[in-house]
A = this chain, B = another copy of it.
Amino acid sequence: MCQLLGMNCNTPTDIVFSFTGFAHRSQEHADGFGIAFFEGAGVRLFVDHQAALHSPVAELVRRYPIKSTNVIAHIRKATQGRVALENCHPFVRELWGRYWVFAHNGDLKGFSPRLHAAFRPVGDTDSELAFCWLMQELAKNHASVPTPEQLTETLRELVPVVSKHGTFNFMLSNGHALWAHCSTRLHYLVRQHPFSTARLQDEDMTVNFAEVTTPQDRVAVIVTEPLTANETWVPFAPGEIKAFLDGQLLAT
């Protein structure tokens, strides 16, 4: 299975700490990785079919602290689709003059929707197919960018159509809000004032967030398996869709 990592903040924040812990897991997830950073309306997408632990592209991500308010990362263990660049998550499409970034963990069986609109998969994964279908249906449901609350409502109608075909943990962001759906495993936490020290579970690395933040900063981190040993991660319930905006859970 693949693993997912997402971050949504109220202040541009670098993801070096979390990505370091996350990339460490790529020993067992060696079929590629990808990470998308929103910067304003723009997206910086790094994908590689090498494991995050060995990829020079991942090395750049670890060393070059790109500050972003919305990040989605993925490490891949291929289940469907060849190991090829076009099958690396996250995937990006444009809708309503915004970029949409999507990554999936899971496996869908027998999902073959009709794609009659403007979104078609380039690679051969179930994940990109599901993303294209979601984009098509979102485009049908709204004439322009809906509010995060409205989009959450639409996703609650659409997602079961896909998730009945298998495991459909995913993250989606338009650079403003970030949505996460849990089929099986997903956790989140919100870091905010007063900040403390976090210690990575997989590597001997700690960060005292109090030293690198201001009291106004707020960061939501969403991930398949908790990244730190000394913080309280909240598990998603199966079937839950949560939306994050400005570093906090959106009440819907």
Is A113 among interface residues, defined by CB-CB distance under 8 A? no
In contact, A56 and B64 (Cβ under 8 angstroms)? yes
Q: Which of B96, B98, B99, B122 contacts A42 (CB 8 A)?
A: B122
Contact A41 B97 (CB under 8 A): no
Partner of A44 from B42, B85, B120, B123 at Cβ < 8 Å? B85
Interface membership of A159, Cβ < 8 A: no
Contacts of A118 in B (CB 8 A): 95, 117-119, 139
CB distance A56 to B47 under 8 Å? Answer: no
Tell me the smallest distance from the CB of A147 to a CB of chain B, in Å. Answer: 19
Q: Is A88 an interface residue (CB 8 A)?
A: yes
CA distance A99 to B45 in the complex (A): 14
Chain B residue numbers with a CB within 8 Å of A44 are: 47, 85
**Interchain CB contact under 8 A, A39 and B117:** no
Q: Is A146's CB within 8 Å of the partner chain B?
A: no
- Oligomeric state, in number of copies? 2
**CB-based contact A84/B40 at 8 Å:** yes
Residues of B within 8 A of A64 (CB): 56-57
A121 contact set on B, CB distance < 8 A = 97
Choice from B45, B60, B87, B99 contacting A122 with Cβ under 8 Å: B99
**A93 near B: Cβ within 8 Å?**
yes
A42 to B119, CA, bound (A): 16
CB of A97 within 8 A of CB of B85, answer no
Among B40, B42, B94, the residue within 8 A (CB) of A47 is B42
Q: Which residues of B contact A117 (CB under 8 A)?
A: 118
A225 in the interface (beta carbon within 8 A): no
14 pairs, CB–CB < 8 Å, chain A vs chain B: A39-B85, A41-B85, A42-B47, A42-B88, A42-B123, A44-B47, A44-B85, A56-B60, A57-B60, A60-B60, A94-B122, A97-B121, A98-B122, A117-B118
Which 3 residue pairs of A and B lie closest in terms of their CB atoms, listed nearest first?
Answer: A42-B85, A118-B118, A42-B86
